[in-house]
Chains A and B, each alone.
Chain A
Amino acid sequence: MKKNLPKTVKEVEEVRIETDLLIIGGGNSGCFVAIEAKEKNPDLDVTIMEKAHIDRSGALAAGMDAINTYIGEGETPETLVAWSRAQVGGGPLREDLALSNAKILNECVESLEKWGVPFKKDEKERYKRRGRFDISIHGEQLKPIIAEKTKSLNPRILNRVAATNLIRSGDRITGAVGFGIRDGKFYIIKAKATVVSTGGAAGLYRSATNDGATSHHQMWMCPFNVGTGYAMGVRAGAEFTLMEQRWCAARVKDFTGPVDTISVGYKAKMINSKGEMILQERYAHLGGDTAPRYIRANAPMNEWSEGRGPTFVDTRHLSPEQVKDLKIDYLNERPTYVLFLAARGQDPAKEPLEIYGSDPYIVGGHTGSGYWVDIDRMSTLPGLFAAGECAGGMPNKFVGGCAAEGVLAARGALKYIASVKHGNLDENQIASEKERVFSPLLKGLSMEAKYNIPAGQDQRWQYDGVTPEEMEERFQRLMDEYAAGVGQFFKCNEEQLNYALKHIKMLKDQVGRLFATDLHELVLVHDVIDRLDVAEVVVMHLRERRESRWPGWQTRTDYPGVDQDLDCFINSRKDLETGEIGMLKRPYEQVLPGDRTKAPSPLPLSAEKS
């Protein structure tokens, strides 16, 4: 509905809010930031800026079937971190961050149960484990429950407000701006501290199952997490790390849904067209079933590229009860996978389930991509904190770890808030941002008025501009083909990456041509702009890491081996003067002794002791 859309920038109404703590993104970790901050200091003015509605926003929208990080009996924070390190082939990772997270992880996870999330239990009433650090839950209501807890503490919640940029005052971040998706207003939030918790970036690459018409968003990660948190940081000159460590996962084919549910939860082995157990046959030297995560993730695509596709997880050993449990797990996380099986008339106990590579995602809750932060989760820009998937350097956080990151970011922010006063807002910066945010809409509306094309025709072709969908499709294909997408079996070389960079720059020059004819399309416009900014950094990182440290996640056909000189963090920072992305290296610091590539054995469980 087009009610009262502005015709000029001047007509756009402004909403100005002054708050102590601004949280951008009210998903899992954003809510935990708010909860922790309000519980520690109920008088603190806390504002959540959320693009959707916090009841069902972020990657948890559909629910969750497991908490992938919980330190159960026989494990310690140290074993979790060492295991996590081995999962990423020994790193580099920020062990300092990982240890601080692991220490408060369990209380965060347990609080979910206290608030109402049903956890599955074993015969001894302990959390039911499905993997070493995985526990099973009935998380259909996970996000609504977290949202209810958040609301009970009375933060200011701005649902349907999309953040577009941080406000910079000197080096410090003093708030952020955004626009109301329902009310069309421009929100200017002045904050003593700002936390970005917008989730990861999906939709940088074309999904293998993207057939256009009705399956454009057939992908694993929430497609509405477009990387705005990263993009705003890039534009503000924050430092980023490990942006080349892309989450390329094995997913159920065509549906592009999770596979851990089956492979971890039900010990289903990956097999190829010949019926060979892939990990056992080809990756025994890397640990077989316990090989690093990127190896397991990349295994199916390797089989395909070498002519042994299709690939499956073998579910034929499952009992009818297990199949039912398996389906319940999916219903808790991605319910339509059960519908997908039904739409193919497929019984997992009779037929194995086909798997394939996903499109690559930048998700710092899974790999190490994200903001370079200190132990308080403050970024390189004072006043700006990162939580959840936005915080970099620490892979394998998942739902529990991202919640814990929220708590830690809140604590860091509280400390910072106690030491500062409100900063200034640069009104020139705000005015030009307002212009930038709304001009695609004003352009679209004026064209609509000018052309007045009768309904029934595809009006947009006749306009002198680019729709966000057009640009998104162009750019996703570019990334897939030239920046190691699933279509290229996740592989790339210097020339391809240079090509990608060249065209990303050309696309960025075309951004001024984007137009929107309503507020929903305006969201799409800013989504694609943010994705472009993130993609540029990702490609720069991919180019800079001239080795193949985590095959699949990052494979260079021109540099196939591991380069010991690159056993470090590759970081980037945009130079705000020149607009160029500058690259730098930061050393890896090992905190936990021992072989970085090996996970320590757990202590024996008490059940087994007796």
Chain B
Amino acid sequence: MPPYVVKDKCDGCKGKEEPLCEQICIGDLMTLDPGTGKAYCRSLRDCWDCMSCTKICPKGAIEQRIPYQLGYHGAKLIPMIGTDSITWTCVDINGKVERFTYRTRNKR
């Protein structure tokens, strides 16, 4: 399932060597285009949609999309990561918005 990198938002993690999505991708799929300094997925078919890249991206530049073979376009799932919380916003193809917030780490 393909991750889509919004080019305007991606800043290549500034270090310009190995952006966080490239570091974290379990399938070695995200990488940096040396020409543009932006990240991209080198093989859309091989993505397992674990969303690690989407979650770790500090610029909110990565969207996870459902392959069209399996689901219709227009739906969105956006994670917002807090220090010990996550908030998901899901929008379905009819525009219905759902939100989910919960703790991801125990109190210290």
Cβ 8 A contact of B52, one of A62, A117, A218, A523 = A62
Residues of chain A within 8 A (CB-CB) of B69 are: 209, 211, 213-215
Residues of chain A within 8 A (CB-CB) of B42 are: 520
Q: Mark B62-74, 1 if CB is under 8 A from A, else 0.
A: 0010111111111
Residue of B nearest to A63 (CB): B50
Any chain B CB within 8 A of the CB of A607? no
Q: Mark B9-28, 1 if CB is under 8 A from A, else 0.
A: 00000000010000111111
Residue of A nearest to B86 (CB): A140
Q: A52-B27, A218-B1, A328-B100 are in contact. Are A345 and B70 (CB under 8 A)?
A: no
Query: Would you mind naming 12 contact pairs between A and B with Cβ atoms under 8 Å apart?
Result: A140-B86, A181-B28, A209-B69, A211-B67, A215-B1, A222-B48, A336-B77, A338-B90, A340-B66, A342-B76, A342-B92, A344-B71
Residues of chain B within 8 A (CB-CB) of A62 are: 48-52
Inter-chain contact B77/A335, CB cutoff 8 Å: yes
For window 29-76 of B, CB contacts with A under 8 Å fall at: 29, 31-32, 34, 42, 44-52, 64, 66-76
What is the minimal beta-carbon distance from A402 to any residue of chain B, in angstroms?
A: 17
Cβ 8 A contact of B77, one of A51, A53, A338 = A338
Q: A213-B44, A224-B48, A331-B100 are in contact. Are A141 and B32 (CB under 8 A)?
A: no
* Given A211-B70, A345-B96, 4 new contacts (CB under 8 A): A62-B49, A113-B106, A216-B46, A339-B64
What is the minimal beta-carbon distance from B22 to any residue of chain A, in angstroms?
A: 9
What's the interface size class on B, roughly? 35 or more
Alpha-carbon distance between A342 and B29 when the two chains are bound, in angstroms: 25
Cβ 8 A contact of A324, one of B24, B71, B76, B100 = B100
What is the minimal beta-carbon distance from B39 to any residue of chain A, in angstroms?
A: 12
Inter-chain contact A212/B45, CB cutoff 8 Å: yes
Any chain B CB within 8 A of the CB of A602? no
Inter-chain contact A217/B46, CB cutoff 8 Å: yes
Closest 7 CB pairs of A and B: A343-B71, A342-B92, A62-B50, A216-B45, A342-B75, A339-B77, A214-B67
What's the interface size class on A, roughly? 35 or more
For window 113-169 of A, CB contacts with B under 8 Å fall at: 113, 116-118, 138, 140-141, 145, 159-160
Q: Mark A252-294, 1 if CB is under 8 A from B, else 0.
A: 0011000000000000000000000000000000000000000
Alpha-carbon distance between A113 and B90 when the two chains are bound, in angstroms: 28
Residues of chain A within 8 A (CB-CB) of B64 are: 335-336, 339
Any chain B CB within 8 A of the CB of A246? no
Residues of chain B within 8 A (CB-CB) of A159 are: 23
Residue of B nearest to A141 (CB): B104
